[in-house]
Structure formats: structure tokens, C-alpha cells
């Protein structure tokens, strides 16, 4: 019998506590969480349950108060700040609800920007940007600026920016939140296509329609990973 592959993402006993004006807020409590390479996971739950906090820790944008986080077997807590930035740039692709495109850069330049922080030849950057824009059907808009695009087109560019660096995992935070239903479905279809081509995806969503696109749903409730019984009790 072959040994089980180690998870790409592994969290053990993750806690996150915020302190403001002598008030202690427990955003995450004893979270255990794994993502296998090539898996598509949806993180769901009510507003304020800790979904975005969890995604921020997964993306190395924030650090847990306690617990252990491993990316491809590497303990994140032991990384120096420069190494954390390198892992974030090279292994993690971000897709944000608000797109986060830079208004005075063209579509091409927006997708290229994260690659400029790598030791990469200009010709390779150009090839990667071109390939990423082809994957999302936006090559014909390469010279346009974000203000000249629809919301759905801007999100496609954001997806291209995320995949251009060939990250180990794509983190999507409510990627359809600023889109109408038609464009939302189009973006979800694009994520599904990326997953079918081997991408590992972790998506935060509050929309039950979109969790069906994932291989597995992880439901958060009051900062904890909830089982089916907990979810049923909360709904009753």
C-alpha cells in the first residue's frame, strides 16, 4: 500500500485573538485544517465567523496567535520576514473580492507586476503574462486600463494575475462578491476550469450555490470548524 501524500496546507490548533481597547476577540479557536495538492476547498459560514481571518493566515498576510501552519511541509512560523514574502509571492496566488487592480497600470502591467519581484527575465515575464491572459480570455484587453473594463473583466484580470506566477495554491476571497450573477457564474466556471487543469484552490464564500463547485466544504462557526451536527443546531 502506498503512503498517503502529505498535505500541501496543514493547520494545527490555530488560534487568532485580537486585542482592542481592552476587549479580547477570539476570531479563530483551535482550527485544524488540511488541503491536499490539487484539491478545491470552499470555506463557508455566516458573517463574522472567521473566514477572511483564516484566509489571511493561509496567505501569510497575518500570523496566528498560536498554533502551527505548514505549507508543503515547511513550518511558516520559522520563516524570516523576507522568506515569508518570498513564499507569499511565489507559492500563493490571491483573488480578491475588490479585484485590487492598479488603476494607472494597463491590464498587461497589472498581471506582470507580481512577477517583477522575482529574478525573472523580461521575456519570461512577457510569456507568462500572455499565457495567463489567454487562459482567462483577456488578451484582447491587454493594453486597456481597469476603468475601461467591466467588473467581470476586472475579476478575470485578477485571476490572470494570480495564476501567472504558477502558485502552489490559489486563495480566493469572495471572488464573486462584487459581480452580478452572470459574471459571478462566469468567474466560478473559470475557477472550475483551472481546478480541472490541476490548480489547488481555497475559496471563501457565503453563497451556497458556489460551494457546490468545490470538492469539499469546510464550514466555520464562531471561529471553529463546525461539524454537520453543529451546523444543524445553529440553523434550528
Which pLDDT score is estimated for 233?
36
In this prediction, residue 55 has a pLDDT band, given cuts at 50, 70 and 90, of very high
Which pLDDT score is estimated for 22?
79
DSSP secondary structure string for all residues of the chain: -PPPPPPSEEEEEEEEEEEETTEEEEEEEEEEEEE-TT-EEEEE-STTSSHHHHHHHHTTSS--SEEEEEETTEEGGG--HHHHHHHHHHHEEEE-TT----TTS-HHHHHHGGGGGSS--HHHHHHHHHHHHHHTT-GGGTTS-GGGS-HHHHHHHHHHHHHHT--SEEEEESTTTTS-HHHHHHHHHHHHHHHHTT--EEEE-S-HHHHTTSSEEEEEETTEE--HHHHHHHH-
Domain ranges for the chain:
39-51+80-235
- Model pTM score: 0.88
C-alpha cell at position 102: 492598479
CATH architecture of 39-51+80-235: 3-Layer(aba) Sandwich (3.40)
Q: What is the pLDDT of residues 164-223, one digit of tens each?
A: 999 999 999 999 988 998 998 999 999 999 999 999 999 999 888 889 889 999 999 999
Question: Does residue 231 register a pLDDT over 70?
Answer: no
Amino acid at each position: 500500500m502506498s503512503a498517503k501524500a502529505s498535505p500541501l496546507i496543514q493547520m494545527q490548533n490555530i488560534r487568532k485573538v485580537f486585542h482592542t481597547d481592552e476587549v479580547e476577540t477570539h476570531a479563530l479557536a483551535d482550527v485544524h485544517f488540511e488541503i491536499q495538492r490539487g484539491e478545491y476547498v470552499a470555506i463557508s459560514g455566516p458573517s463574522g465567523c472567521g473566514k477572511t481571518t483564516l484566509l489571511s493566515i493561509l496567505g501569510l498576510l497575518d500570523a496566528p496567535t498560536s498554533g502551527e501552519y505548514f505549507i508543503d511541509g515547511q513550518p511558516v512560523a520559522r520563516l524570516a520576514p523576507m522568506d515569508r514574502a518570498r513564499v507569499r509571492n511565489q507559492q500563493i496566488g490571491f483573488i480578491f473580492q475588490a479585484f485590487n487592480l492598479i488603476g494607472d497600470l494597463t491590464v498587461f502591467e497589472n498581471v506582470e507586476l507580481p512577477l517583477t519581484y522575482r529574478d525573472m527575465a523580461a521575456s519570461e515575464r512577457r510569456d507568462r503574462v500572455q499565457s495567463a491572459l489567454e487562459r482567462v480570455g483577456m488578451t484582447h484587453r491587454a493594453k486597456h486600463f481597469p476603468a475601461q473594463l467591466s467588473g467581470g473583466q476586472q475579476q478575470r484580470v485578477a485571476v490572470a494575475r494570480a495564476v501567472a506566477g504558477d502558485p502552489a495554491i490559489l486563495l480566493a476571497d469572495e471572488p464573486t462578491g462584487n459581480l452580478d450573477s452572470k459574471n459571478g457564474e462566469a468567474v466560478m466556471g473559470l475557477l472550475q476550469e483551472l481546478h480541472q487543469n490541476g490548480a489547488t484552490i481555497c475559496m471563501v464564500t457565503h453563497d451556497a450555490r458556489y460551494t457546490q463547485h468545490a470538492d469539499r466544504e469546510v464550514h466555520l462557526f464562531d471561529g471553529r470548524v463546525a461539524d454537520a451536527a453543529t451546523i444543524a443546531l445553529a440553523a434550528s
